[in-house]
Chain A
Amino acid sequence: MNSFLLIAILLVLASVGYQFGQRRARSVSGGHPSTLHSRPQYYGFYVALWCGIPSVLLMALWLILEPHVAEWMLISNLPEDIQSLPEDRLSLLLNDVKNLASGNIVSREVDASLQAAADGYASVRQIGNAAMTVVAIAIAVLGLAFARKRISPELRARNLVERTVSVLMIIASTIAILTTIGIVMSLLFEAMRFFARVPWYEFLFGLEWSPQTALRADQVGASGAFGAIPLFAGTLLITFIAMCVAVPIGLFSAIYMSEYAPQRMRAIVKPMLEILAGVPTVVYGFFAALTVAPFIRRTGESLGMTVSSESALAAGVVMGIMIIPFVSSLSDDVMNAVPRALRDGAFALGATKSETIKQVIFPAALPGIVGSLLLAMSRAIGETMIVVMAAGLAANLTADPLEAVTTVTVQIVTLLVGDQEFDSAKTLAAFALGLVLFAVTLTLNVIALNVVRRYREKYD
């Protein structure tokens, strides 16, 4: 029986338990539910939880342990000579047995002993699953009966249910946090493997980026260099261009929306601006590569300048357009949150609208605006698709926006695309870059959120 069906059965049992519990609670109250400690629904939930949680826990435990138990039984049933095989060959053999048991393609000739082992393995798993199903349902029914029996007017069902629910919520949030920690750890360990090959100072301060490793000493192009400065510089250049586009446009549209636009206009303009944030970045990418970049090149050439066809300018401008809604929407919100009393105060002193905005509203909203800018910036630094398509691969160390530059994210993509061996410095460099990227954007986000929160505390 597969686990989805089992979960469905458990859910049905739990809802039956809910009904039972409710009815039982009403009957023990003798027709006066107000004499119960909690409302009858809570007794229902109490029974449902007793019915569902132990059996689900058992199931989870089983799903974790079962493969190991089955494998252990499989090995102990194999002939002696196979059991004494070295580790790696044994695991290959075990793989084949498992594949044979589940009817997949097998990489060797199937002989009688292999077939027997596979049959044995399949039957062990089948019996195990059946046993687990029976036990889980039995536990559910037992839990139901036990909880139903415990129902009495004195039972504090509400407190018990609420405590259980809060524990469930804690578990859910812990899973989210643990996942994040897991991601950071995997980045960290791979990056440490990289730094075992390439010293960290060379990576952080080296001026040349040419990520290749030679198979043989005399190979052409064996001059691998892992200095990430050109990548950082390229990222900063493109981010800078993007902010030059996004900050003025975003701020001015935020000021217009929050202060000047009539309600109806605002209701139309704001969602339209937010659509910009919903455009897939890959669409921005080919907009940059196929429309903006050629336009910049043609314009530059007609002015007698040499412009690379994958210029930092094109990528930066399009990225700036992408982050406009981050700036405008958040800034609009914080300016709207400036209390009406402050505006009235300024108006009552004879300030005009623009004076009020410049001297009172903007300074009052400044922390929130700075927060929104930092969030937009961390977004720009981490953006990948636009720069992959429009920024180029050449790791030039330049401040000229008309030349091609490359960014950290672009290099991570090129290092990891395709079939790669995961023990060369070239591939591991991607993890080191990812770690740096993560550290920078995390720092920016933490600062931004702190700034925004401090601002909110002041006025709410």
Chain B
Amino acid sequence: MEAVAEAAAPSPALRNSPKMTSRKTDVYYGESQALRDVDLDIGENQVTSLIGPSGCGKSTFLRCLNRMNDVIDGCRVEGEITLDGIDVYRSGLDVVQLRARVGMVFQKPNPFPKSIYDNIAYGPRLHGIAESKSELDDIVELSLSRAGLWEEVKDRLTSPGTGLSGGQQQRLCIARAIAVNPEVILMDEPCSALDPIATAKIEELIDELRQNFTIVIVTHSMQQAARVSQKTAFFHLGNLVEVGDTEQLFTNPRDERTQGYITGRFG
């Protein structure tokens, strides 16, 4: 298949060795196959965006990267997905450890019904990252600052996280994810429930976070993919059709289906 050939070809976007790789990944929900033979490299300290029409398997692929599909009944993953060269589906691998290294932000902001402080402190407490209360305070402040939320909430850390606006909630969720200091952050359409201003803030944030984290983002907005990502992968009907530098993929797609999707002929 052409997709395989493309993924295997050295891409100029891959200056560093890939942080995560996927080889011959198939995903099944019960009898139906959701992903077919996906080969994809995710470069370190890069933003990789996954685009494609609804139901093309891009979210499924994202959820494979930190094994969030484990909780879905009847979901089966075959092939190989590695993080720093280690197979994440290897038996005996601790899922808790994996998810501490590969964090996730969801489509709809989902703050816990706790205070803003406790929302951020949840992960560090879980993994015993902070030695003392003051260290935990520092982590909370740092995470909120990195998510660009500190100035807005520093005076009301004890008020409930669910009381924030949608955009603030989503930044809270990003802060919550980076509080455990992961290496990779997965974002599943993080702006689809937000207004344009909040979206712009999150996009700005993603661009800053790239310096410290590897980011994979699923998005329905091709403008967003073009704005925030360095590398783009186009999924269609469970196949990885094309992957390449974002600029190249949007200006000069190699595959006819990619061309059709980005020019709005289907999807």
Contact of B113 among A350, A355, A363 (CB under 8 A): A363
A348: chain B residues at CB < 8 Å are: 66, 68, 99, 103-104, 106, 177
Q: Verify if B79 is at the interface (C-beta below 8 Å from A).
A: no
Within 8 A of A (CB), among B64-104: 66, 68, 71, 73, 95-100, 103-104
Q: Verify if A206 is at the interface (C-beta below 8 Å from B).
A: no
Contact A350 B71 (CB under 8 A): no
Q: Verify if A67 is at the interface (C-beta below 8 Å from B).
A: no
How many angstroms from the CA of A196 to the CA of B244 in the assembled complex? 92
Contact B122 A359 (CB under 8 A): yes
Q: Verify if B110 is at the interface (C-beta below 8 Å from A).
A: yes
Tell me how many residues of A have a C-beta within 8 Å of chain B: 21
Contact B123 A350 (CB under 8 A): yes
How many angstroms from the CA of A348 to the CA of B107 in the assembled complex? 13
Contact A363 B110 (CB under 8 A): no
A343: chain B residues at CB < 8 Å are: 71
Q: Verify if B154 is at the interface (C-beta below 8 Å from A).
A: no
Q: Verify if A349 is at the interface (C-beta below 8 Å from B).
A: yes
Tell me how many residues of B have a C-beta within 8 Å of chain A: 28
CB distance from A54 to the nearest CB of B (A): 56
A351: chain B residues at CB < 8 Å are: 96, 122, 126
Q: Verify if A344 is at the interface (C-beta below 8 Å from B).
A: yes
A347: chain B residues at CB < 8 Å are: 68, 71, 99
Contact A349 B99 (CB under 8 A): yes
Q: Verify if B180 is at the interface (C-beta below 8 Å from A).
A: yes
Q: Verify if A345 is at the interface (C-beta below 8 Å from B).
A: yes
How many angstroms from the CA of A452 to the CA of B111 in the assembled complex? 21
A262: chain B residues at CB < 8 Å are: 73
Per-residue A-contact encoding for B176-211, CB less than 8 Å = 1, 0 else: 110010000000000000000000000000000000
Contact A350 B99 (CB under 8 A): yes
Q: Verify if B108 is at the interface (C-beta below 8 Å from A).
A: yes
How many angstroms from the CA of A349 to the CA of B123 in the assembled complex? 6
Contact A349 B106 (CB under 8 A): no
Per-residue B-contact encoding for A239-267, CB less than 8 Å = 1, 0 else: 00000000000000000000000110000
Q: Verify if A178 is at the interface (C-beta below 8 Å from B).
A: no
Contact of B103 among A349, A360, A364 (CB under 8 A): A349
How many angstroms from the CA of A349 to the CA of B111 in the assembled complex? 12
How many angstroms from the CA of A186 to the CA of B104 in the assembled complex? 62
Q: Verify if A300 is at the interface (C-beta below 8 Å from B).
A: no
Q: Verify if A224 is at the interface (C-beta below 8 Å from B).
A: no
Q: Verify if B127 is at the interface (C-beta below 8 Å from A).
A: yes
How many angstroms from the CA of A359 to the CA of B106 in the assembled complex? 19
How many angstroms from the CA of A344 to the CA of B59 in the assembled complex? 14
B97: chain A residues at CB < 8 Å are: 350
- Contacts A349-B126, A350-B96, A355-B126 known; A344 to B103 CB distance under 8 Å? no
Contact A350 B100 (CB under 8 A): yes
Contact A341 B106 (CB under 8 A): yes
Q: Verify if B173 is at the interface (C-beta below 8 Å from A).
A: yes
Q: Verify if B266 is at the interface (C-beta below 8 Å from A).
A: no
**Residue among A263, A347, A458 facing the most chain B CB atoms (10 A cut-off):** A347
How many angstroms from the CA of A341 to the CA of B190 in the assembled complex? 13
Q: Verify if A352 is at the interface (C-beta below 8 Å from B).
A: yes
Q: Verify if B114 is at the interface (C-beta below 8 Å from A).
A: yes
Q: Verify if A339 is at the interface (C-beta below 8 Å from B).
A: yes
13 contacts between A and B (CB under 8 A): A263-B73, A341-B106, A344-B110, A345-B176, A348-B99, A348-B103, A348-B177, A349-B100, A349-B103, A349-B126, A350-B100, A350-B123, A364-B112
Spell out B's residues near A (CB within 8 Å). Answer: 66, 68, 71, 73, 95-100, 103-104, 106, 108, 110-114, 122-123, 126-127, 162, 173, 176-177, 180
